[in-house]
């Protein structure tokens, strides 16, 4: 019987043991929870009372309660508060220094900047009473001007962010000019980069925005080695010609470059080059920034230059001499191509050319123009951009016979968003490439972040540049570099049908 009782009592003891174990576990768990609760309750929580800021803005700014200072500007009066205005160094020095206004309750502000408006004053004064500000892109330049007057660095930074985010064809030039005027370096650099990419690919079609570009800004853009020159240097020349026409005729239609606009300079009766006339003199620096040696490598380009009679013929003497000298050096195998050219000289002397790749597809092309016997074909597929030294035996008499030819090249690729802002940009280092006849070399492997359409810009140097700048052109356009790529004689029939030599030619597979 005792055995039976033991068998019965053992499970009961086991159950009691499990219960004590659960109680111990529950106790430990409760202690952890209590510790967490104590810790959370002991940690102060900062929460902003949204209604407080709104109340201050409504009661003190909009309803002007308990005002201790009256501000008069642009014919309007604001009843404000010194304690809030003193967030501005402009007002802080006025109220706390030896100024007469320190002891008065009235301030008259003489506004001389035409960009400052009553609306922008209202927005900026209101921002001193709130912890946030609503910035309308269409009013952003006025708000920036007002924030600059009152030395509100935080608001200036917010304006800069909005300007960078909303840069587009309509605002880029306006934002750039404002950034220069008010010293906002980030906006100045951002909008300048936007214009470098879009000047030729977009602005030639939109005269109303092209004419906004000042002479000073245009000179900087044309001189930049980072400019995306769509097609060749002739494309840049024709854009300058159209832009100059728009500047000279403020009332002209702004839709496209009509035949009348294109022929305006060629139809002048005077034999004096336009840039040597009083009307043309202000535009001289912009045309000086062109790389003339790259405008003298195709017979159609030369014909256009002579017919327009914009650029004085004496400007062309030195580049022509350099081109001829380079050709002789290559022909006599004394120049096998540039080697170890430093970055500064490369960027001053290089050819600038480019194109748009609309879709992700296999494509081959060459840029037209004499290229010192070097027929270079660009090959794009879905992942890479390559270059090939094309050499056909039937044209050997017209091509360089050197077994190896070397050149230097830099490639930039950009994809844009709907506002034509750069979503992603990829730029290679300056590469030295040496190719046998019909040999290929890879130039760049596209980043995965790039999307189509792609804008491609190529800087290339195929002959050794002179070490000094020609006297007829500024330093940034120095060098007898080659043309925008090779117009080979065996392609002549195709190229003769072009309206201008500054194009690229698709090459069949």
CA distances from 433 to 5, 79, 387, 439 (A): 98, 70, 9, 11
Token reading at 389: 């030294």
Residue 370, number of CB atoms within 10 A of its CB? 21
Distance CA(283)–CA(241), nearest Å, equals 10
Q: Are residues 255 and 115 in the same domain?
A: no
| 3-state SS string for 481-493 | CCCCCCCCHHHHH
pLDDT in tens, 302-347: 899 999 999 999 998 898 888 888 878 877 777 777 888 889 999 9
- Say if 67 falls within a structural domain: yes
Torsion angles phi and psi, residue 422, rounded to 5 = -70, 115
What integer pLDDT is reported at residue 244 of this predicted model?
A: 95
- Say if 398 falls within a structural domain: yes
Q: Are 431 and 378 in contact (CB under 8 A)?
A: no
What integer pLDDT is reported at residue 393 of this predicted model?
A: 56
- Domain ranges, residue 313: 205-509
- Say if 70 falls within a structural domain: yes
Q: Are residues 120 and 256 in the same domain?
A: no
Distance CA(46)–CA(68), nearest Å, equals 31
Sign of CA dihedral 201, 205, 209, 215: positive
Q: Are residues 252 and 365 in the same domain?
A: yes
- Say if 84 falls within a structural domain: yes
Q: Of 69, 82, 166, 156, whose CA–CA distance to 120 is shortest? A: 156
The CATH number of the domain holding residue 109 is 3.30.710.10
pLDDT tens for the chain, 509 residues: list them.
Answer: 444 444 444 554 555 555 555 555 556 666 776 666 666 566 665 655 557 888 888 889 888 898 989 999 999 999 999 999 999 999 988 888 666 666 778 899 999 999 999 999 999 999 999 888 889 999 999 999 999 999 999 999 999 999 999 999 999 999 999 999 999 999 999 999 999 999 999 988 888 899 999 999 999 999 999 999 998 999 999 999 999 999 998 877 666 666 677 788 888 888 999 999 999 999 999 999 999 988 888 888 889 999 999 999 999 889 888 888 887 887 777 777 788 888 999 999 899 999 999 988 899 988 876 767 788 899 998 899 999 987 665 454 445 556 678 889 999 999 999 999 999 999 999 999 888 888 889 999 999 999 999 999 999 998 888 865 444 344 333 333 333 333 333 333 333 333 333 456 665 44
Residue after which a domain boundary falls, among 112, 139, 166: 166
Helix (H) or strand (E) holding 389: strand 384-389
- Say if 183 falls within a structural domain: no
Q: Of 177, 183, 239, 174, whose CA–CA distance to 207 is shortest? A: 239
Per-residue DSSP letter, 58:
I
The partner residues of 352 in beta bridges, in order of sequence, read 459
Q: Are 437 and 405 in contact (CB under 8 A)?
A: no
What integer pLDDT is reported at residue 190 of this predicted model?
A: 97
135 contact partners, CB below 8 Å, separation of at least 6: 123, 143, 158, 159, 162
- Say if 128 falls within a structural domain: yes
Distance CA(493)–CA(313), nearest Å, equals 28
Q: Are residues 236 and 328 in the same domain?
A: yes
Q: Are residues 148 and 211 in the same domain?
A: no
Q: Are strands 376-380 and 405-416 parallel, antiparallel or unpaired?
A: unpaired
462 contact partners, CB below 8 Å, separation of at least 6: 337, 338, 351, 371, 372, 374, 376, 405, 407, 481, 482
What integer pLDDT is reported at residue 19 of this predicted model?
A: 52
Q: Of 443, 476, 454, 241, whose CA–CA distance to 354 is shortest? A: 454
Residue after which a domain boundary falls, among 143, 166, 189: 166
Q: Are 326 and 395 in contact (CB under 8 A)?
A: no
What domain count does the chain have? 2
What integer pLDDT is reported at residue 25 of this predicted model?
A: 56
Q: Are residues 319 and 381 in the same domain?
A: yes
- Say if 190 falls within a structural domain: no
Q: Which long-range contacts (CB under 8 A, 24 or more apart) does 121-125 make?
A: 121/73, 121/74, 121/76, 121/78, 121/146, 124/150, 124/152, 124/155, 125/61, 125/71, 125/78, 125/80, 125/85
- Say if 189 falls within a structural domain: no
Q: Are residues 85 and 154 in the same domain?
A: yes
Q: Are residues 159 and 262 in the same domain?
A: no
Q: Are residues 133 and 282 in the same domain?
A: no
pLDDT in tens, 108-120: 999 999 999 999 9
Q: Are residues 254 and 376 in the same domain?
A: yes
Q: Are 186 and 164 in contact (CB under 8 A)?
A: yes
3-state SS, residue 52:
helix
Q: Where are the alpha helices (DSSP H) in 249-350?
A: 259-263, 284-288, 299-308, 317-331, 343-349
Q: Of 389, 390, 298, whose CA–CA distance to 351 is shortest? A: 298
pTM of this structure: 0.80
The residue assigned the tokens 């500024």 is: 474
Q: Are strands 422-427 and 431-435 parallel, antiparallel or unpaired?
A: unpaired
Q: Are residues 153 and 217 in the same domain?
A: no
Q: Are residues 160 and 214 in the same domain?
A: no
Distance CA(372)–CA(211), nearest Å, equals 37
């Amino acid at each position: 019987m005792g055995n039976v009782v033991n068998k019965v009592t053992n499970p009961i003891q086991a159950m009691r043991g499990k219960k004590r174990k659960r109680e111990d576990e529950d106790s430990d768990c409760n202690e952890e929870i209590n510790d967490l609760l104590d810790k959370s309750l002991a940690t102060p929580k900062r929460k902003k009372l949204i209604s407080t800021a709104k109340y201050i803005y409504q009661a003190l700014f909009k309803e002007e309660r308990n005002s201790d200072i009256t501000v008069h500007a642009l014919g309007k009066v604001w009843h404000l508060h010194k304690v809030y205005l003193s967030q501005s160094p402009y007002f802080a020095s006025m109220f706390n220094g030896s100024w007469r206004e320190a002891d008065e309750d009235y301030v008259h502000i003489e506004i001389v900047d035409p960009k400052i408006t009553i609306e922008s004053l209202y927005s900026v004064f209101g921002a001193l009473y709130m912890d946030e500000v609503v910035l309308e892109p269409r009013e952003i330049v006025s708000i920036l001007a007002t924030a600059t007057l009152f030395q509100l660095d935080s608001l200036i930074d917010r304006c800069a962010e909005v300007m960078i985010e909303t840069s587009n064809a309509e605002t880029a030039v306006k934002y750039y000019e404002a950034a220069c005027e008010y010293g906002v370096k980030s906006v100045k650099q951002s909008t300048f980069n936007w214009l470098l990419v879009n000047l030729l690919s977009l602005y030639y079609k939109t005269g109303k925005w092209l004419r906004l570009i000042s002479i000073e800004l245009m000179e900087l853009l044309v001189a930049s080695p980072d400019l995306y020159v769509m097609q060749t240097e002739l494309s840049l020349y024709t854009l300058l010609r159209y832009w100059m026409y728009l500047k000279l005729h403020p009332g002209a239609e702004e839709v496209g470059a009509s035949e009348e606009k294109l022929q305006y300079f060629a139809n002048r009766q005077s034999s004096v080059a336009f840039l040597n006339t009083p009307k043309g003199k202000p535009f001289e620096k912009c045309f000086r920034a062109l790389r003339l040696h790259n405008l003298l490598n195709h017979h159609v380009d030369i014909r256009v230059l002579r017919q327009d009679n914009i650029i004085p013929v004496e400007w062309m003497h030195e580049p022509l001499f350099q081109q001829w000298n380079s050709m002789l050096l290559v022909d006599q195998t004394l120049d096998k191509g540039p080697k170890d050219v430093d970055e500064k000289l490369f960027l001053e002397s290089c050819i600038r050319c480019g194109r748009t790749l609309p879709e992700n597809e296999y494509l081959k092309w060459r840029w037209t123009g004499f290229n010192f016997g070097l027929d270079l074909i660009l090959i794009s597929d879905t992942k890479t951009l390559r270059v090939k030294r094309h050499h056909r035996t039937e044209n050997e008499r017209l091509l360089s016979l050197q077994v190896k030819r070397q050149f230097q090249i830099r490639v930039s690729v950009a994809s844009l968003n709907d506002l034509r802002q750069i979503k992603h940009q990829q730029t290679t280092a300056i590469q030295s490439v040496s190719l046998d006849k019909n040999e290929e070399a890879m130039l760049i492997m596209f980043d995965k972040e790039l999307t189509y359409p792609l804008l491609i810009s190529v800087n290339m140097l195929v002959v050794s540049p002179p070490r000094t700048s020609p006297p007829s052109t500024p330093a940034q356009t120095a060098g007898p570099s080659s043309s925008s790529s090779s117009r080979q004689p065996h392609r002549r029939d195709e190229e003769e049908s072009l309206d201008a030599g500054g194009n690229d030619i698709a090459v069949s597979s």
